[in-house]
Structure formats: C-alpha cells, structure tokens
Amino acid sequence: MDTLQVILIDDERRVRNTLKRTLEECGGVEIIAEADTLESAREALSAFPQADGIFLDIQFPGGTGFDLVPDIPDMKKVVFVTAYDQYAIRAFEVNALDYIMKPASPERLEQSLRRLRIHAQERTKPQSASETPPQGQPGESTKSLTANDQLLLKFGTKSRFVPVSDIVFVRSADNYTELHIKDGSTALMRKTLEEWAESLPTSIFLRLHRSTLVQKSFVEELSLDGTKYAVRLQGVEELFPVSRSYSATVREALQK
C-alpha cells in the first residue's frame, strides 16, 4: 500500500494543522477527513469507513475520544494523540494501535504509520472462510498477538509500549500478573495468566507451570533434579520449576 488514508479528530484547529504538517513531512499520507467535535467525528467515521488510520484526541467538550469506540469497529486503526498520559491504560484496554503524547514528532508518527501500514496490509489479504477471524465487539481484540505487536504496559505510575518479543516471562501474582521485560523492568497488569496464555503467541512462549509462561528464546538451560525439571532464563537468577503436567511439552519444545 502506497498511501494511507487517515482521519484527524481534534477539537483544536491549531493542533490539527500541526499534525497535518508533521504527517506531510512523513509522507505517504492522505488526509481524507477532519473533525472537531464528537458529532462531526461520527459523521466522518460513517462517511469514510475505508480509512486506514484515525488520529484521535481524547479531551473534547462534553465527552472524550473513548465515546467514539462504539463507532469504530476496528480499533487497530486508532492512534490516540493527546497531551494527557493518564489515559494510556484505557487506550490499551480498548485495543488501540498506538498512544502518542503531544506534540507528536515526525519520528514518533513514523512508528505509528508503519504499524498502520502493516495492519492495512493484513486487512486486505484474501482469506478463506475458515481463516476469517470471528467478529468481536467494537474495541475487542479478535486475534492472538504476534512477536511484532506492542503492548501498552504499566510500570509503577508510568506506561509505555513494549514489543511482545521483549517479554522474558509472565507470572501470576494474586489477582494480577507480572510481566518481566528484558531491560529488567517489571509491569503489573490486572489480567490472568490464562488470558495471557491465550493471547501470547505459542510459537515463542512456553507454559512451564499453571502460574508461569516464559519466552523460549530466553531459555538458557533445562535442568533435571531427580524427577523434577527446572528452567534457567537469561539474566534471571532464580530457577523456574516445570510442573509434571507440562514437563513433556517443555522438553519437546526446547529440543527443537
């Protein structure tokens, strides 16, 4: 795909003009519609359902950009552009493609545009009936993650996007899960391990235990102590026990 068709939704003309100029610097983008209110945004979304991308502000008089979620069947088209970082987790929950802080630099917008192009190419690939993913509710993810996807994770009071390929392991922590990243940081998410097991790609993640998932590329050693297996991961001191019910699957996966 050569040119992305995008919609700009922001209540400030000055901000829209700045964003337009920056997108023009990036190149390969056509602005097909603009909106400055939630009502005009709904009209633009209805008039241009073929849009490849939607750059959406959050704060509007009388509401927020999240009020438009029911009007956007494919939230993977949405890039939130805002001056407020407190909405980052909400953006992740509605499965938005990206979340950018104002003022958006050309370099940061280029990242979003690359992801929009990938998504647009995936949408236009022909699929047989058996390959067509089930339709979910607006804002709901309908497919598993890939190694190239990014997740918006919360680190203390801050949030940032992290590639799936940077997750070393995921572990249950009461009603939460801990995601340990290769840079040594840890994110705490209110999501069950079962949910992560369903969404993380099984091609690169391995279940060791009912409470632990690890990325295979970070496994340094599979050791055996009597009848019990354990896994050592790169850059992690502790050993991870392998439960008996998963031991055969783990051995087979790590021997490939």
User: Among residues of the chain, what percentage have pLDDT more than 90?
Assistant: 48
Per-residue H/E/C for the chain = CCCEEEEEECCCHHHHHHHHHHHHHHCCEEEEEEECCHHHHHHHHHHCCCCCEEEECCEECCEEHHHHHHHCCCHHHEEEEECCHHHHHHHHHCCCCEEEECCCCHHHHHHHHHHHHHHHHHHHCCCCCCCCCCCCCCCCCCCCCCCCCEEEEEECCEEEEEEHHHEEEEEEECCEEEEEECCCCEEEECCCHHHHHHHCCCCCEEEEECCEEEEHHHEEEEEEECCEEEEEECCCCCEEEECHHHHHHHHHHHHC
Banded model confidence at residue 195, pLDDT cuts 50, 70, 90: confident
pLDDT at residue 138 in the model: 35
With bands split at pLDDT 50, 70 and 90, how would you rate the model's confidence at 149? confident
* Mean confidence (pLDDT) of the chain: 85
**pLDDT for 133 beyond 70:** no
Q: Residue 122 has what pLDDT?
A: 78
pLDDT of residue 205 exceeding 70, the answer is: yes
Classify domain 150-255 at the CATH superfamily level: LytTr DNA-binding domain (2.40.50.1020)
Q: Going by DSSP bridges, is the β-strand pair 59-60/63-64 parallel, antiparallel, or unpaired?
A: antiparallel
Is the pLDDT at 152 greater than 90? The verdict is: no
Q: Give the pLDDT confidence score for residue 45 in this predicted structure.
A: 95
CATH fold label, 4-123: Rossmann fold (3.40.50)
Q: What is the pLDDT of residue 126?
A: 56
**Contact criterion met (CB below 8 Å) for 230 and 241:** yes
The per-residue pLDDT for 89 is: 64
Spatial strand order in the sheet of 228-233 = 219-225, 228-233, 239-242
**Considering only 105-109, 120-124, 195-199, which range has the smallest mean pLDDT?**
120-124
Q: Taking the domains of the chain in order of start, what are their residue ranges?
A: 4-123, 150-255
Tell me which amino acid residue 1 is.
Answer: M
Q: What is the pLDDT of residue 231?
A: 93
Write out pLDDT tens, residues 58-102. Answer: 999 989 999 998 899 888 899 999 887 777 667 766 778 888 888
- 103: cis peptide before it, omega within 30°? yes
Whether 225 has a pLDDT exceeding 90, the answer reads: no
